[in-house]
Amino acid sequence: MTKGIAFFDVDETLLAEKSMLSFWKFWVRRQSFQAAQPRTSGADRAQLNREYFRLFAGVSSAALEQAAWDWYAEYRQGDTAFLMDALQELDGHRQAGRDVLLVSGSSPVLLAPVAQDVGADGILATEQIVDSQGVLTGEVRQPMIGPAKQSAVTTLLRDRGVDARGCFAYGDDSSDLPLLSLVGTPVVVGGDPVLGEQVRSAGWRRLPARPGPRRQRAPS
């Protein structure tokens, strides 16, 4: 019998910070140019996601990939880099033999080192478009935000023949509600008020957003 899958949002669910903003600070520092933070309000989350990735138009995908690994090597050393309770649950799912998938509005390039570190089995994220020369166009196929997460997970479960009722999902933001509502065991991380209503009315579990370090790496 196929075991259920555990789906984890990443930013402020597993990582204590938003990966895209943390990486942008690293990227600007490495490139040695002055730049403002990417816009984080004033539009819906999908539009903000598209705007962020347009900042990398013209960048070699190989250069971005290398920078992502370098960023994460630095990031993971922080004493408050991770949210410990969600990370502990992820380790528990792996020990129970379940597949673990990261589902995030960030990109596979930024999440690849995270996935390797925590032992995730796959990534559903915002795919950046690369031209025939290996250069980022600045556009994405679809922001993996809100209903897009639910749609991607629904397709994956159908293709694998896995019952959503036997699955787990973890998220911190109201935009994760479509994903959380899909599975049999939704878990809220932190204090989002919209998700808090589900904790109270539907009996969803809640984990504290308790930051801390991750010293060990997942066994391969």
pLDDT of residue 1: 46
Domains identified in the chain and CATH numbers: 6-212 (3.40.50.1000)
Distances (CA, A) of 179 to 23, 48, 143, 169, 216: 25, 20, 14, 7, 29
Q: What is the pTM of this model?
A: 0.94
**Sign of the dihedral defined by the CA atoms of residues 190, 195, 197, 198, in that order:** negative
| Other C-beta atoms lying within 10 Å of the C-beta of residue 60 | 15
Q: What share of the chain is helix, strand, coil (3-state, %, to 5)?
A: 45, 15, 40
What was the pLDDT predicted at 37? 77
- What pLDDT does residue 220 have? 62
Q: Is residue 8 a contact partner of residue 100, using CB atoms and an 8 Å limit? A: yes
The helix (H) or strand (E) run that includes residue 102 is strand 100-103
Beta 136-140 vs 128-130: how paired, if at all? antiparallel
Per-residue pLDDT of the chain (220 residues; tens, 9 = 90+): 468 999 999 999 999 999 999 999 999 998 877 777 788 777 889 999 999 999 999 999 999 999 999 999 999 999 999 999 999 999 999 999 999 999 999 999 999 999 999 999 999 999 999 999 999 999 999 999 999 999 999 999 999 999 999 999 999 999 999 999 999 999 999 999 999 999 999 999 999 999 999 877 776 6
